[in-house]
Amino acid sequence: MAGSKASKHVVPLLMPRSYMSTESNKTGSWRFLRPRYDEKTAPCSTACPAGEDIARVEMLTAQGLFKEAWETILKENPFPAVCGRVCFHPCEGICNRGEFDAPVAIHVMERFLAETAVRYDLKPLLERCPAKKEKIAVVGAGPSGLSAACFLNRLGYVCDVFEAASEPGGILRWGIPEYRLPLSALRSEIAQIESEGVRIMTDKRLPADFIDRAGDSYDAVFIGCGHGRTTMLRIPGEDVDGVEDGLEFLNRIRSGETPAVDGVSAVIGGGNTAVDVARSIIRLGGKAVILYRRRRSDMPAFQEEVEMALEEGVELKELLAPAGIVKDRKGIFITMRPMKVVGEDEGGRGRVEPARGKTQQLLVQRVFKATGAESVDERYNPPDRRRNVLVLENGVLVDRPKGPAVFFGGDLVNETKSVTHAVASGKAAAIALDTLFRDGFKAVPGRAASCAVGNGKALSMEVYLGGERSSRNPHVVRFAEVNTDYFHFAPRITQPRLMREERLNTFKEINLKISATLAIREAERCFNCGVCNRCDNCYLFCPDLAVMREQDLTGRHVDYDYCKGCGLCVVECPRNAMTLEEEER
């Protein structure tokens, strides 16, 4: 307390004044609620079969840390350049931003990051565990085999990959057209896997009894040879001359051939292979008609691909099932039976059965079968669940009393036959085999479950290795848990593309590159659900100055000596990276 005097007059001026620091008042003792930093799980990362840490990837991208963002993807998926292009991005379907304006274009940025890495010839900083004695053979250098080898190699195992074809990549190399996945993008990622220490032996077609003989050299075998044979249509005439295998056709194009496609070709099927075949025919100067027994909306092919195919002149005939094929001098006659929708299957796809009405005839020059594929040898099909057979989300582990353990992955086991599911298989194999070798067969299911992203289906290698991500709360952040006051409406990036006219006679990649500026702008749209991006709202709003920033600004912590537990930090956290709990007394 102090008074003061004016020069001429005495001014009554009793004022409270203190020279004591308020730090002596430990207001933390008033607290009955405790805020803490509690990073949670973003929905996108649970929907991604590879369990990529998308919220963090976007955060790093928005900060311009492209290499770190790229490395964050590589921890969970060695194929960002591939997946950024051909994955069906289920992450975007579940994106919380979709409830606000439009989902973040996650796949566009995944590709951008991979391309940036190539452009600047970046070398990722990835840890490799100490070398282990076990050796693993991988059958098939497709996405699942390469992923398995990549992850097992990082865990310290020696991996040999055996590939029947002249170049690794499997369906990515031989089955997906260049306009969707350029060779350079695939090759750079395979080169990266090889540079980490994986040996790939091409032109090495293994006999089917390899599994039984591998025990001499290997402790485990990963079977990821995929479905190499198109399934039979089971209709009369399907083996006549002019009826071709769609996958085989795509393979020929990617081998450098230019197959003749004059006249009209019919493509039977509704998946991506059917659409790829049809669009390739257009590019080779032919005409293509897709015959599909269900409706367009039921097609398993990506909607965008179907849309572009129609733009390019592919014709689509729905609700028609081929009933027979006859060849004569004019060409090939396909008899088609009209179908009708009679309800829906579990996935919401229309169920069809033959409808009454006349069959139709279609005259074409060629027919391509693209109705699905199957394994070329029975022995590559995984066994059913037994005592020594463990069925995981993306793979089947067989612990054999004699001989090496076997893991079946990729299209051989996956219900959804996608690249990213194949990557998931490879990762599941690495986690399962490592656990098998270290802790035994019984430990595998528990260990796999412990590194599931948000207690979902996807597994995280970073969590398995006890990285930063393993401290994340499995709680999946809902839209209502995001503080949208801190976000502005912003349009989703439009993917720049070749014009239709530019696409018609070339296999050049359709989707064009985007600039770093656009990538950052799009990444900034991400809510980063559950992940702290150091926006410092907590720091700014804390009325007690109890939010402390680490010297290097990498982290924040709460000073519980002074935190009164008002909860402002938690409410003002835009991305739900904090939690308020009742104080334990």
Q: Where do contacts with another protein occur on this chain (CB under 8 A)? A: 1-2, 4, 6, 9, 11-19, 22
Q: How far apart are CA 207 and CA 435, in angstroms?
A: 28
Beta carbon nearer to another protein, 19 or 489: 19
Cβ 192 vs Cβ 126: under 8 Å: no
Phi-psi region of 455 (alpha: psi -120 to 50; beta: other; left: phi over 0): left
Cβ 77 vs Cβ 52: under 8 Å: yes
Strands of the sheet containing 220-223, edge to edge, are 199-201, 158-162, 135-139, 220-223, 405-409, 395-398, 389-392
Shortest CB 24 distance to another protein, Å: 12
Shortest CB 16 distance to another protein, Å: 5
Pairing relationship of beta strands 135-139 and 220-223 according to DSSP bridges: parallel
Beta carbon nearer to another protein, 21 or 258: 21
Shortest CB 188 distance to another protein, Å: 52
Single-letter amino acid code for the residue at 476: V
Contacts with 23 (C-beta within 8 Å, 6 or more apart), sequence order: 562
Task: Output the CA torsion sign for 175, 179, 180, 181.
Answer: positive
Beta carbon nearer to another protein, 6 or 480: 6
Q: How far apart are CA 460 and CA 51, in angstroms?
A: 6
Q: Is 209 exposed, middle or buried (0-12, 13-18, 19+ CB in 10 A)?
A: exposed
Beta carbon nearer to another protein, 474 or 543: 543
φ/ψ (deg, to 5) at 321: -110, 130
Beta carbon nearer to another protein, 4 or 360: 4
Q: How far apart are CA 338 and CA 295, in angstroms?
A: 12
Q: How far apart are CA 87 and CA 84, in angstroms?
A: 6
Inter-helix orientation angle 54-62/516-523, to 10°: 130
Beta carbon nearer to another protein, 26 or 128: 26
Shortest CB 566 distance to another protein, Å: 19
Place of tokens 């691909």: 305
Beta carbon nearer to another protein, 12 or 130: 12
Beta carbon nearer to another protein, 22 or 166: 22
Q: b/e per residue, 543-581, with b = 16+ CB within 10 A?
A: ebebbeeeeeeeebebebebbbbbebbbebbbbbbbbbe
Single-letter amino acid code for the residue at 317: K
Beta carbon nearer to another protein, 15 or 480: 15
Give CA separation, 425 vs 223, 394, 421, in Å: 10, 5, 6
Beta carbon nearer to another protein, 4 or 471: 4
Shortest CB 25 distance to another protein, Å: 10
Beta carbon nearer to another protein, 22 or 184: 22
Q: How far apart are CA 498 and CA 262, in angstroms?
A: 25
Shortest CB 13 distance to another protein, Å: 6
